[in-house]
């Protein structure tokens, strides 16, 4: 899944401590590794070190630490914290988030030098998160990223890389070579980064951050999904137009990391920002078109049912 914001305390919190946020998609949140990008802090601290009293267009999101249990109950197994909101309430808020996830039995990834391991039967799966921020494992330093992923590949059977990269907004659906900027901030070069970490041993790259769906490409037989869009944004994230369309991407990889099968199920955020399976499956046409336009023959092909075709590059 893509970006998740379960609310924003104190005014915008769902009823019953968010226990029903994921009810409409519960049957989709299954798998050996269930990963999403948590674009908020899990903390009771009320002072944001990011947004001052006079800040304009500044967003600091938090829900109580108990909401980690909501994520665990929904079926998630590992949460990416490499993003621009995990530190909205400072280092203390980030520590609270990490502790809450651990207490709820969830793994997390995205801190500097962090390689998160999840055991799946006899296989060791490494999950490594990157974002363009100093409190995360940086995707701006591609040589360092290659080294970390290479080390993960030595210790694990499979390596999944998750990224928070690229510009934000409804006009940011396309992936192009080169650095992407947002509000004067270097958001990395998603294409160069993703290909570099696959060269270093990653078996898939799974993206979030732009808040819209982006295309998917094959590179050396491995999948790059540049952005899975918005998944949940309770009274926080826009659900207008492309911002309201996301998806659940399911991959099945062989023990050596080679492709077996995959499927994309389109979702929509319905008011007040809750995910549902999209009866119109708009995500399929979007990803199909973006993949063809941005990546040509290497773009992922989707069947009418959302099945991903075999690697073409």
Q: State the Cα–Cα distance between residues 126 and 129, nearest whole angstrom.
A: 10
63-82 confidence digits (pLDDT tens):
999 999 999 999 999 999 99
Kindly indicate the confidence band of residue 50, based on its pLDDT and cuts at 50, 70 and 90: confident
As assigned by CATH, the class of the 3-298 domain is alpha beta
154-196 confidence digits (pLDDT tens):
999 999 999 999 999 999 999 999 999 998 999 999 999 999 9
Contact between 69 and 79 (Cβ < 8 Å): no
> Count of residues for the chain?
313
Report the pLDDT value the prediction gives residue 58, as an integer from 0 to 100. Answer: 80
Where in the chain are the domains? 3-298
249-298 confidence digits (pLDDT tens):
999 999 999 999 999 999 999 999 999 999 999 999 999 999 999 999 99
Q: State the Cα–Cα distance between residues 36 and 249, nearest whole angstrom.
A: 11
pTM of the full structure = 0.97
Report the pLDDT value the prediction gives residue 54, as an integer from 0 to 100. Answer: 59
């Amino acid at each position: 899944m893509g970006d998740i914001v379960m609310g924003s305390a104190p005014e915008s919190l769902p009823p019953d401590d968010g226990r029903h946020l994921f009810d409409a998609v519960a049957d989709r949140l299954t798998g050996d590794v269930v990963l999403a990008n948590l674009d908020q802090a899990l903390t009771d601290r009320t002072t944001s070190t990011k947004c001052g009293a006079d800040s304009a267009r500044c967003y600091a999101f938090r829900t109580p630490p108990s909401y980690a249990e909501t994520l665990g109950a929904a079926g998630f197994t590992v949460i990416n914290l490499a993003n621009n909101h995990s530190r909205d309430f400072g280092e203390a808020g980030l520590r609270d988030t990490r502790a809450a996830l651990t207490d709820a039995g969830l793994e997390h990834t995205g801190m500097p030098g962090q390689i998160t391991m999840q055991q799946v039967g006899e296989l060791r799966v490494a999950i490594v998160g990157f974002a363009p921020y100093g409190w995360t494992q940086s995707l701006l330093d591609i040589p360092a990223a290659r080294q970390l992923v290479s080390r993960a590949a030595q210790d694990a059977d499979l390596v999944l890389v998750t990224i928070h990269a690229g510009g934000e907004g409804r006009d940011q659906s396309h992936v192009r070579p080169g650095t992407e900027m947002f509000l004067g901030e270097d958001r990395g070069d998603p294409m160069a980064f993703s290909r570099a970490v696959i060269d270093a041993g990653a078996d898939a790259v799974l993206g979030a951050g732009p808040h819209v769906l982006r295309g998917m490409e094959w590179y050396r037989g491995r999948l790059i999904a540049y952005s899975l869009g918005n998944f949940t944004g309770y009274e926080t994230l826009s659900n207008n137009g492309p911002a309201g369309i996301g998806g659940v991407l399911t991959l099945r990889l062989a023990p050596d990391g080679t492709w077996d099968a995959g499927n994309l199920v389109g979702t929509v955020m319905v008011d007040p920002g809750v995910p549902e399976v999209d009866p119109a499956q708009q995500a399929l046409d979007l990803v199909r078109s973006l993949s063809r336009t941005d990546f040509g023959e290497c773009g992922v092909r989707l069947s009418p049912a959302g099945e991903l075709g075999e690697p073409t590059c």
